[in-house]
Amino acid sequence: MLQEQWLLHEIMPTVLERLKSQLETSLNILSKQNKSDSLPLSSTKNESLKGYISLNGPYITKAELTVRLANHQDTQSKAMITPTYPYFLEQIQQGTNYMILAAECVMSIKPSLLTKQTMVELLETVRQYTDRAQLAFEYPNETELFPYKVCHPKHFTPPLKEDLVIEFCVQDIYIVCSTYGIKFAGHHFTDSHASSVTYKDKTAWIVDQSRTQTQSPMLTELKGSFRSIREICQTYRHMLLQTNVTLSA
């Protein structure tokens, strides 16, 4: 009992402050007000995609892209994203929402009223929210990707033609850009290398595609912050649970 009281009154208030600090760090990283990442994009094996993007919180606020899918068209296409119509990354917003919930849990706790049960539950809840946030960054839901999600031409300047798809997603600490050259056809397509999908309620043939990724310093820093939060939760939850084992031994 003495060890438990010592942990609750001497150690856990400091642990709560550390958690608050790390959660605040994570939310600051995710905030739109945080400094933008300016990230180069370049396909490694060919010149199918090159350019750069600017990542600001859950938005790609700027981009200049040059796309050339040789099996799709002979000429290259240029596309820009401007701050007027930024590209929204749902995964980053999902992660932000989970971290806000974690921060609210910590802020609702009064150190003077701490009990072993409430602290153990709090640490487990914060860990679970952090794990869910991390999972949101691992890879997007399939429904958020081509061909299930429609590429809106208005995201780009000039607006994309209907036969070109450009999409972005998050994968761990990377921003991934995928491009697809497609052709709509009401009959079987003759190119044996093309695959068919249902897109915009029509049969579309993917005649060429490219995928490239670029590491984001913001996402890399965020992953480190998540790791710190998880370690704090696991370490001190285990320490509290061990007080029972020590007493019974």
What are the tens digits of pLDDT across the range 196-239?
A: 899 999 989 999 998 999 999 999 999 999 999 999 999 999 99
- Average pLDDT on 47-67 reads 92
What are the tens digits of pLDDT across the range 144-179?
A: 999 999 998 888 999 998 899 999 999 999 999 999
Placement of tokens 């739109």 in the chain: 32
CA distance 145 to 172: 16
CA distance 17 to 36: 28
Whether the per-residue pLDDT at 249 is higher than 50: the answer is no
pLDDT at 48: 86
Q: What share of the chain is helix, strand, coil (3-state, %, to 5)?
A: 45, 30, 30
Neighbours of 28 (CB within 10 A): 12
Whether the per-residue pLDDT at 191 is higher than 80: the answer is no
Which residues partner with 30 through β-bridges? none
Whether the per-residue pLDDT at 248 is higher than 50: the answer is no
For residue 33, name the pLDDT band (cuts at 50, 70, 90): low
Closest CA to 57 of 175, 199, 178: 175
Q: What is the pTM of this model?
A: 0.88
**Mean pLDDT estimate for the chain:** 88
